Amino acid sequence: MGDAYAELLSAPDYDATADDLVDLRGVTHLGVTPEGLRGIMSMFTPIDELGIATRLAIVAPTDAVYGVSRMYELLRGDGVPEEIRVFRDLNAALQWLAEGREARGVASRTSAA
């Protein structure tokens, strides 16, 4: 998971203003530690410092993956400009992202990791 984020963030066309969708529907197990989650979060520090309000929807239908995703959401906390929500259903996640774009008056630019 960390490698995917690192690759996304280092891409020259990465748009720090885009909302993100992480689709974990095909994942049945995440072998990640709290330290690993903190490592992933630290990759976003430079983007967080920009202060751009975005949304991250994580789709995690299985209990184990949902639990780890919720841990990530809680560890990120309220002190970041990115609003994070974990969903079990892709359509609910997409609807939430669309509502956020509408509220901010932003065109559809969701990137997927």
pLDDT of 52-97, one tens digit each? 889 999 999 999 999 999 999 998 888 899 999 999 999 999 999 9
108-111: long-range contacts (C-beta < 8 A, 24 or more apart)?
109/15, 109/17, 109/18, 109/19, 110/18, 110/19, 110/20, 110/21, 111/8, 111/14, 111/15, 111/18, 111/19, 111/20, 111/21
User: Does the pTM of the predicted model rise above 0.75?
Assistant: yes
Give the chain's mean pLDDT. 85
pLDDT of 25-64, one tens digit each? 999 888 888 888 888 888 888 888 889 889 999 999 999 9
Stretch among 14-23, 34-43, 78-87, 103-112 having the lowest mean pLDDT: 103-112
Average pLDDT in the 14-34 region?
Answer: 87
The predicted pLDDT at position 1 comes to 52
